[in-house]
Amino acid sequence: MKWWPMGKKDADLERELRSDLDLEEAEQMERGLPPEEARYAARRAFGNPTLIRDQTRAVWAWNWLESLARDLRYGLRTLGRTPGFTFIAIVVMALGIGANVALFTVVHSVLLKPLPYRDPGRLALIYEADSDQRHASPWLPVDAGSFWEWQRSAQSLAQMAMVSPFQGYNVSAEGGRLPEVVEAAWCTDNFFSLLGVQPMLGRAFTADDDNPGAAATAIITADFWKRRYASDPAILGKTIWLDAKPYTIIGVLPATFVYSGAFGGNAD
- Residue pLDDT, tens place only, 160-218: 898 888 889 999 988 888 899 999 999 999 999 999 999 999 999 999 998 888 999 99
Are 193 and 236 in the same domain? yes
Q: At residue 245, does pLDDT exceed 50? A: yes
Mean pLDDT value of segment 148-158:
83
Are 56 and 151 in the same domain? no
Q: At residue 61, does pLDDT exceed 70? A: no
Note the pLDDT of residue 128.
78
Note the pLDDT of residue 59.
59
Are 163 and 211 in the same domain? yes
Do the domain assignments include residue 259? no
Do the domain assignments include residue 237? yes
Note the pLDDT of residue 110.
60
Note the pLDDT of residue 87.
85
Do the domain assignments include residue 257? no
Note the pLDDT of residue 84.
83
Are 92 and 139 in the same domain? no
Note the pLDDT of residue 39.
75
Are 195 and 184 in the same domain? yes
pLDDT tens string 62-121: 566 667 777 888 888 887 888 888 888 888 989 999 888 888 777 766 666 667 788 877
3-class secondary structure per residue, the chain? CCCCCHHHHHHHHHHHHHHHHHHHHHHHHHCCCCHHHHHHHHHHHHCCHHHHHHHHHHHHHHHHHHHHHHHHHHHHHHHHHCHHHHHHHHHHHHHHHHHHHHHHHHHHHHHHCCCCCCCHHHCCCCCEECCCCCCCCCEECCCHHHHHHHHHHCCCCCCCCCECCCEEEEECCECCECCEEEEECCECCCHHHHHCCCCCEECCCCHHHHCCCCCCEEEECHHHHHHHHCCCHHHCCCEEEECCEEEEEEEECCCCCCCECCCCCECC
Note the pLDDT of residue 148.
85
Q: At residue 44, does pLDDT exceed 60? A: yes
Are 86 and 102 in the same domain? yes
Mean pLDDT value of segment 149-164:
84
Domain that holds residue 64: 6-81
Are 126 and 201 in the same domain? yes
pLDDT tens string 212-241: 889 999 999 999 999 999 999 999 999 999
pTM of the full predicted structure? Answer: 0.56
Do the domain assignments include residue 268? no
Do the domain assignments include residue 233? yes
Are 86 and 206 in the same domain? no
Do the domain assignments include residue 144? yes
Are 62 and 10 in the same domain? yes
Do the domain assignments include residue 1? no
Are 97 and 145 in the same domain? no
Most confident of 9-13, 24-28, 42-46, 194-198: 194-198
pLDDT level of residue 265 (50, 70, 90 thresholds): very low
Contact of 197 with 257, CB cutoff 8 Å:
yes
Are 56 and 105 in the same domain? no
Instruction: For residue 220, count CB atoms less than 10 angstroms from its CB and return exposed for 0-12, middle for 13-18, buried for 19 or more.
Output: buried
Are 209 and 248 in the same domain? yes
Do the domain assignments include residue 215? yes
pLDDT level of residue 4 (50, 70, 90 thresholds): very low
pLDDT level of residue 250 (50, 70, 90 thresholds): very high
Note the pLDDT of residue 171.
94
Q: At residue 251, does pLDDT exceed 70? A: yes
Domain count, the chain: 3
